[in-house]
Amino acid sequence: MTRLSDLPIRDDLRGLTPYGAPQKHVRYALNVNENTHPIPEPVARDIVESLAHAVLTANRYPDREFTELRESLAGYLGHGLTSDHVWAANGSNEIIQQLLQAFGGPGRSVLGFPPSYSMHPIIAAGTGSRWIPAERDADYRISPETAVRAIEQHRPDLVFLCAPNNPTGTALPLETIAAAYDATDGIVFVDEAYAEFMPKDQPSALTLLPGRERLVVSRTMSKAFAFAGVRLGYLAADPAVADALRLVRLPYHLSALTQAAAVAALAHAPEMLAMVDDIAAQRDRMVAELPALGYRPWPSQANFVLFDGVADPRATFEALLARDILIRDVGIPNALRVTAGTAEETDFFLECLAALGPGGA
């Protein structure tokens, strides 16, 4: 059998491991922060109608500039943004890849603050960009001073921030983003995949965009919009950033079907987002109830909760899996992460955890 190491693969990819969140068929899939609520049927019908229309002209390449989609996304984001400020790709993962293809790459570096989204260093590696991990403050926070110190020490070409942070759920103050921006001549990238789950009075990094042409804020339809299977991520930035990404994107990277589905879904944004408050309520319920079961949940502004105090994360993970619940071991000692789903999913998760006894023993 041929092994990977037998192939003439790039030296810098030897020995690396791919993204590997388990994909198992379980009743309670609470491991990759999807929206566990299905798309409302009337909206699904509208999407299917748009898809049917798009299929009829699928003999032609799609709109390479996905103009209608960019207009819809700009309208959804608000903040005075126009279609020129918006760029989209197949998931925010592809947004990040294009960003690193244009602004990172061999000889360039990306500064990040682990624990954070596990794909950030993996996409950095895939694009030949050097990944530099920097320390967070206590409780997974990043103060302006901490961000500036790391930037001054490492002089990266890109700074990656995640707000709220995955896997910890931690909020990121706008002051930290602004200070990071002022401390670098490079790109400051804020991954806002979970922005819709933030408290309503918490401002988005989008508010910082005016006058900051090197600031890039990404979003996704995978989480709040319950659209993970469609693969639609997007960013807002100065229009020149989109021009940079036009140099590296593959022509027609967004299929006609993806564009049609996303435009149709965005026309139903209020229905698609109707479950966000319910999900946030389940998240808050888990944070409130986990201490009584002997765990220490971290405050979360996203659709998941990281909890400490797990005696043996592997054993607890397996014990829950035996009850058809899949959660996530993110590699933080004595901690596990669970996605906030429906009330019924949350009930069952908490019940099963309670049955395992304090600390999951």
Residue ranges in the chain assigned as alpha helix (H): 41-56, 67-77, 91-103, 119-126, 144-154, 174-183, 239-246, 256-266, 269-272, 276-289, 313-322, 343-356
Query: How do 158-162 and 109-112 pair as beta strands?
Result: parallel
CB of 151 to ligand PMP, least distance (A): 20
CB of 103 to ligand PMP, least distance (A): 17
User: What burial class does residue 224 get, using C-beta atoms within 10 Å of its C-beta: 0-12 exposed, 13-18 middle, 19+ buried?
Assistant: buried
CB of 110 to ligand PMP, least distance (A): 14
CB of 96 to ligand PMP, least distance (A): 7
Q: Residue 91 or residue 360: which is nearer to ligand PMP going by CB?
A: 91
CB of 92 to ligand PMP, least distance (A): 4
- Nearest residue to ligand PMP on Cβ basis: 91
Q: Residue 72 or residue 222: which is nearer to ligand PMP going by CB?
A: 222
Q: Residue 33 or residue 129: which is nearer to ligand PMP going by CB?
A: 33
Residue 132 belongs to what H/E stretch?
strand 130-133
Of the candidates 221, 265, 229, 339, the one whose C-alpha atom is nearest the C-alpha of residue 43 is 265
Q: Residue 91 or residue 121: which is nearer to ligand PMP going by CB?
A: 91
Q: Residue 164 or residue 297: which is nearer to ligand PMP going by CB?
A: 164
Q: Which phi-psi region, left, alpha or beta, contains residue 169 (left: φ > 0; alpha: ψ -120 to 50)?
A: left
The torsion defined by the Cα of 283, 285, 291 and 295, in degrees rounded to 10, comes to -30
Distance CA 229, CA 262 (A): 11
Residue 290 has, within 13 A of its CA and on its CB side, a CA count of 27
Distance CA 334, CA 320 (A): 15
CB of 358 to ligand PMP, least distance (A): 30
Distance CA 88, CA 123 (A): 17
Q: Residue 115 or residue 360: which is nearer to ligand PMP going by CB?
A: 115
DSSP codes joined into one string, 298-310: PP-SSSEEEEE--
Name every residue whose Cβ is closer than 8 Å to that of residue 52 and which is 6 or more positions away in sequence: none
Please report, as ranges, the residues that interact with ligand PMP according to CB under 6 A. Answer: 32-33, 91-93, 117, 162, 166, 191, 193, 220, 222, 228, 233
Name every residue whose Cβ is closer than 8 Å to that of residue 53 and which is 6 or more positions away in sequence: 260
CB of 69 to ligand PMP, least distance (A): 15
CB of 215 to ligand PMP, least distance (A): 17
Is the CB of residue 194 less than 8 Å from the CB of residue 303?
Answer: yes
Q: Residue 121 or residue 360: which is nearer to ligand PMP going by CB?
A: 121
Q: Residue 162 or residue 325: which is nearer to ligand PMP going by CB?
A: 162
Angle ∠(183,188,193) on CA atoms, nearest 5: 140
CB of 153 to ligand PMP, least distance (A): 24
Q: Residue 81 or residue 161: which is nearer to ligand PMP going by CB?
A: 161
Distance CA 43, CA 270 (A): 11
